[in-house]
Amino acid sequence: RALVATEHSLGDTEIEGRPLTPGVRALYRAGERLGTATVAVSDTVAERLTRWGVPDTRVHVVPNGIDAAAFAHDPELRTTARTALGIPPGAHVLA
């Protein structure tokens, strides 16, 4: 049976929002060894996986299916909207 892992947020200093400690790295590498393939969402993530020791023959790049730039926010527009709506700068907003 095939087991495929997917890596999204493999950074140089953190992974999935957690500090990238030797223990965390070892845990992720162990998980990669259990699978038959790993999908990386970018060339950068694929390169990091191979630097970690995952064989490049098991790493396959499948880019995200959306244009993330289309969802980028304009910090100036955000500040203007918050001011107009009376929302304090540090307040959390759920829509």
Q: Beta 37-40 vs 4-7: how paired, if at all?
A: parallel
Name residue 60's beta-bridge partners: 39
What confidence tens digit (pLDDT) does each residue in 34-80 have?
888 999 999 999 998 898 888 999 999 998 888 878 888 899 999 99
Q: Is the dihedral of CA 68, 37, 56, 50 positive or negative?
A: positive
Instruction: Report yes or no on whether pTM surpasses 0.85.
Output: no
